Amino acid sequence: MITIFKIENIEQKIKQNQPVVGTHIKWTDSTIAEILAISGFDFVWIDSEHGIMTIETINNHIRAIQGGGAAAFLRVPWNDPVRVKPYLEMGVDGIIFPFVNSRQDAERAVASCLYPPEGIRGFGPGRINNYGFMDIDEYFEKAKQIWKIVQIEHIDAVNNLDEILTVRGISAVVIGPYDLSVSMGLPAQIKSNEVKKQLDRAAEKCLEAGIPFGTSFSFDAEMVEEWYKRGASFVTLGGDQDFIRDGAAATLANTLDIHDNGLNKPEHL
């Protein structure tokens, strides 16, 4: 039997107040996804909203991530049940829905992941039920465990968050600081007092509702500390693009520093 569904590990860590740390993948090579999972991240966020991916690429990412021991989260391009349907059958651990700005948006997101009468999902499992080798009752229970993650990344969403969080079935919230700042007319000013005030406000509402929440950005130690102080259950940091760029730049800079310090010259000169 194929072992999928890694979300239980994350849920257990959250209950025990342990840090949950994920990262992102935007590009197509599933080997990179596997390396990120093996590195020890709790989850890898497959970004099909901004990444260059086909359905087959996403399927390979999910298998590589779960095979490496991490949970596979997928951010879909839009909150559309038609787009979500095939990914559910791949055995993904969680679906991230971008730009959930209202209660109606949240209801649509949750419904697309659940079978009737709770939702509108159609029946046609594949990898998610071990291609039919899983007992049907066990499968229906496992299917309910897929995380339904709503992304709050607009000032309208923050203003409507009390209503959004009343939607039954939301598993977690991702608060997006960059798009939120843009919606406030302060593009990329995520450390401004105005944006921080709204981030604090969103975090407080999630805490009051008892729903796990987190965020997503490139690594910044000061910001990580701020989010932990807000009560975040998880953070999603860096990713394939960041790690390749930063690693390449650091290697080149360190090599040039060695050269400039004269360590490349023969000792007899």
Whether 242 shows a pLDDT value over 70: the answer reads yes
Is 80 exceeded by the pLDDT of residue 181? yes
**Does 260 map to a domain?**
no
Please report which confidence band the pLDDT of residue 189 belongs to, taking 50, 70 and 90 as the band edges. Answer: very high
pLDDT value of position 263: 60
Determine the pLDDT at residue 192: 97
pLDDT of 5-36, one tens digit each? Answer: 689 999 999 999 999 999 999 999 999 999 99
- Whole-number pLDDT of residue 264: 56
Asked if the structure places residue 219 within a domain, the reply is yes
Task: Kindly state whether residue 245 falls inside one of the protein's structural domains.
Answer: no
Share of the chain above pLDDT 90, in %: 93
| Bridge partners of residue 236, in order along the sequence | 22, 216
Question: For residue 202, what is the domain's CATH number?
Answer: 3.20.20.60
Q: CA dist 77 to 53, 74, 96, Å? A: 11, 9, 9
Q: Is residue 124 part of a domain?
A: yes
Task: For residue 16, give every residue at least 6 positions away whose Cβ sits within 8 Å of its Cβ, in sequence order, or none.
Answer: none
pTM as predicted: 0.94
Residue 190 has pLDDT above 70, yes or no: yes
CA atoms within 13 A on the CB side of 189: 12
Asked whether residue 258 is assigned to any structural domain, the reply reads: no
Q: Which of 24, 50, 154, 259 is catalytic?
A: 50
Task: Say if 188 falls within a structural domain.
Answer: yes
Compute the average pLDDT of residues 200-222. Answer: 97
Domain containing 127 equals 7-239
- Provide the pLDDT confidence category of residue 260 given band limits of 50, 70 and 90: confident
Based on the structure, what is the number of domains in the chain?
A: 1
Average pLDDT over residues 94-106: 98
Q: Is 24 assigned a catalytic role? A: no
Q: State the number of CA atoms in the 13 A half-sphere of 25 facing the CB.
A: 28
Residue 266 pLDDT > 70:
no
- Pick from 178, 172, 244: nearest CA to 203: 172
The one-letter amino acid at 229: K
Q: Would you say 203 and 230 are in contact if contact means Cβ atoms under 8 Å apart? A: yes
Q: What is the model's pLDDT at position 204?
A: 98
Q: Is 149 among the domain residues?
A: yes
Residue-wise pLDDT tens digits, 108-135:
999 999 999 999 999 999 999 999 999 9
Query: How much is the average pLDDT of 59-80?
Result: 97
**Three-state secondary structure of 219-245:** CCHHHHHHHHHHCCCEEEEEEHHHHHH
Answer whether residue 266 is part of any domain.
no
Position 78 scores a pLDDT of: 96
pLDDT of residue 269 exceeding 60: no
